[in-house]
Structure 1
Amino acid sequence: MLTLGIVTISDRASSGVYDDRSGPAIRDVCSRWLATPWTDAYRLVPDEQPAIEAALRELADEVRCSLIVTTGGTGPAPRDVTPEATVAVCDRLLPGFGEAMRAESLKSVPTAILSRQIAGTRGASLIINLPGKPGAIEECLRAVWPAVPYCVELLGGPRLQFTDAAPRSHRPQST
């Protein structure tokens, strides 16, 4: 079974000003794409680096999520600190994830170049930062999804299976 960490980073949603729509958007995409049985561990935190770091550490180290997906806090505004928090907790960064997501988003949104989403690993967890806009979540996940299952396996996680709706994943052939 896969345990999926979902972390929404938003001052306003965490204080109850509005409902979080981004975390549920991640859950929706995964519900449509994952055939592997899974459960999620959801966290809603403000745009504060210590709170983001604590949530990522807990989900990786205690809950043992194989995949942690964050949403929000990836722009250039002063309170957008998700990438900094992710860098602080990761053992290794995977810059290709951010590059692929930005390249895909730039096809439809010129300001996507301002996005600073990244990905990395902490122990046996893959952490992927997504933008906070619900509509961008599927677009960005689609750009990196082909590499997600292999990365999860390389980190010791479960072999993920997918529905026909999911982007085709890639696993290198054994030599």
Structure 2
Amino acid sequence: MKAAILTLSDRCSTGERADGSGPALKSWLEERGVSVTCTEVIPDEAPLISEKLVEWSDSGAYDLILTTGGTGVSPRDVTPEATERVVDRLLPGFGEVMRMESLKKTPHAIISRAVAGIRKNTLIINLPGSPKGATENIGFVWAAVPHTVAKLQGDPEECGTPMPS
């Protein structure tokens, strides 16, 4: 599986703060055999986010795109809207599971607006902006990611097969 990671942060994009989430996600994915071939940091600007998601998805180079940051309720948190503008289909179960599992750890999980969806043959998942939140949340949904990617690539296997524990 090939992946790209897009960090959304005004401060990280200007060098005011180091990106911790992108590198944490890259390590997490590589530990699971995923090839992370592209990472980038851009500001919290919906048009830039949408443009990058379209560029990466339409290139066919990535099976999975993870975004980190911009999923809360601050005025500059626009990642879900930017993602919804460009996906062909939403996959609400990813966000539902991430919120449900995160709620077991913090009451603030209820304000996460993270979404997931499909553009072309690429799975896009929004994750929180903190390294801990990003890696925990991808962990909550990871069991479904390889299956989803396989289905997007035309795998004819039945979907009723139980997920590994």
TM-score (norm 1): 0.86
Secondary structure at the aligned position of 1:33 is classed as coil
Letter aligned with residue 114 of structure 1: I
1:94 to 91, 108, 120: 91
The CA RMSD measured in Å over matched residues stands at: 1.7
Q: Does 1:61 align with 2:58?
A: yes
Distance 1:91 1:99 in 2: 19
Larger mean Cα displacement after TM superposition, 94-103 or 38-47: 38-47
Name the amino acid aligned to 1:78.
P
The CA distance in 2 between the partners of 1:123 and 1:31, in whole Å, is 24
**Corresponding residue number in structure 2 for 1:110:** 107
In structure 1, the residue corresponding to 2:39 is in which secondary structure? strand
Q: How far off its partner does 1:14 sit? A: 0.2
Q: CA deviation at 1:63?
A: 5.1
State the Cα distance separating 1:39 from its structure 2 match.
3.6
Give how far 1:12 is off.
0.2
Partner residue, 1:137: 134
Alignment of 1:143-162 (within 5 A): 143-156=140-153
How far apart, in 2, do the equivalents of 1:87 and 1:144 lie? 19
Gaps of 5+ in 2: none
Q: Is the 8 A contact 2:5 2:36 kept in 1?
A: no
Q: Distance in 1 between matches of 2:150 and 2:120?
A: 13
Determine the structure 1 residue equivalent to 2:41: 44
- Whether the 8 Å CA contact 1:104–1:139 is kept in 2: the answer is no
